[in-house]
Amino acid sequence: MYYLGLDIGGTYIKIGIISSEGEILQLCKFSTGEKPLEVVFEEIDDILKAYKILGIGVAVAGIVDRDGKVIEAANIKSLNDFELKKELEQRYKIQVAVENDATMATLAEAFAGEGKGCNSFILLTLGTGIGGGFWFNGKVERLPMEVGHMTINYLGKLCSCGNTGCLEAYASARALKDNLIEKLEKGENSIASTLYEGNFYKIKPEDIYKIAMDGDPLCRSIMKEGGKALGAGLSNLINLFSPEKIILTGGLSKAVNIYIETAIAEAQKRAMKGLGEKVSIVTSSLVDKGGVLGAVMALNNQLSNQNSCNT
């Protein structure tokens, strides 16, 4: 018997087949594109032909209500106001759990990652956008934790949510890419302008990091600026919650040199004396797996709650 874990993000969709012992048998990654659900349905159709699947757990980069409806997904507009759980249950006639991606990743970290043994930690998903999860006293707090939309500069840049000066507008993968494109359009020098046969609009965040690591001054400064902004956001979280740990996950958390290192230094510089020293800021070792693993954990919780209610 197997479970299917889905992680729908702004840039990638990850689909994992997970055994009842929690082992990942297969993990695939696809571009989210304009029609993410078509990709999802096609993949699930194929998996269901090959495996006996007990249920589907879904992590979504957006606000999800208790009925598994996506209320708002700023970076996956086609899922806005969409009854995702209902749609999947009707289509496949199996149990489905749908939750925010950071909440799912928080569950995975608590039981299988950096959060094991912690009483309190905050998790940040650093991807196209920035999400957050809060583990406190042995459970995930059901708080919005829209960390990416905390204001770090109230007169600042426009964010995808419509507000200005959000953390996400400065420190997310999309922000780094937009920042680079803006500078290349102004004619600033960088190896990045030669990639994709000069069509620098196709640049991916991982390219920026790679070029920065190769020593390109413009990409280095962009990664550093993004890291400083992230550090400002982290210091706000430390001052408000004083968690034992902050766990950074998502694609951008792999950019440890420059971006993450700058963020940690900035956070500790800005946090209140006595609070900054107490927190340990670490990167996740689950990263791509966290969303799908957590989604299946949430699904299992849902299944066992139903069973205990039925007996």
Site residues (vs Zn ion, CB under 5 A): 149, 159, 161, 163, 166
Please tell me the number of Cα atoms within 13 Å of 243 on its side-chain side: 24
Among candidate residues 225, 246, 236, 260, the one with its CA nearest the CA of residue 152 = 236
Nearer to Zn ion, 102 or 166 (CB): 166
Q: Residue 102: in which H helix or E strand, if any?
A: helix 101-112
Mapped onto helix, strand or coil, the DSSP state of residue 110 is helix
Nearer to Zn ion, 160 or 253 (CB): 160
- Report the nearest approach of Zn ion to the CB of residue 146 (Å): 8
Among candidate residues 287, 286, 288, 282, the one with its CA nearest the CA of residue 121 = 282
Q: List, in sequence order, every beta strand (DSSP E) within 32-65.
A: 53-60, 63-64
Nearer to Zn ion, 22 or 156 (CB): 156
What's the rounded Cα separation, in Å, for the pair 311 and 306?
A: 9
- Report the nearest approach of Zn ion to the CB of residue 104 (Å): 21
Nearer to Zn ion, 110 or 159 (CB): 159
Answer yes or no: are the C-beta atoms of 299 and 95 closer than 8 Å.
yes
What's the rounded Cα separation, in Å, for the pair 231 and 238?
A: 10
Sequence-separated (6 or more) residues with CB below 8 Å from residue 229: 152, 167, 170, 171, 175
What's the rounded Cα separation, in Å, for the pair 211 and 293?
A: 31
Nearer to Zn ion, 62 or 113 (CB): 62
Q: Residue 301: in which H helix or E strand, if any?
A: helix 290-310
Nearer to Zn ion, 14 or 149 (CB): 149
Nearer to Zn ion, 205 or 233 (CB): 233
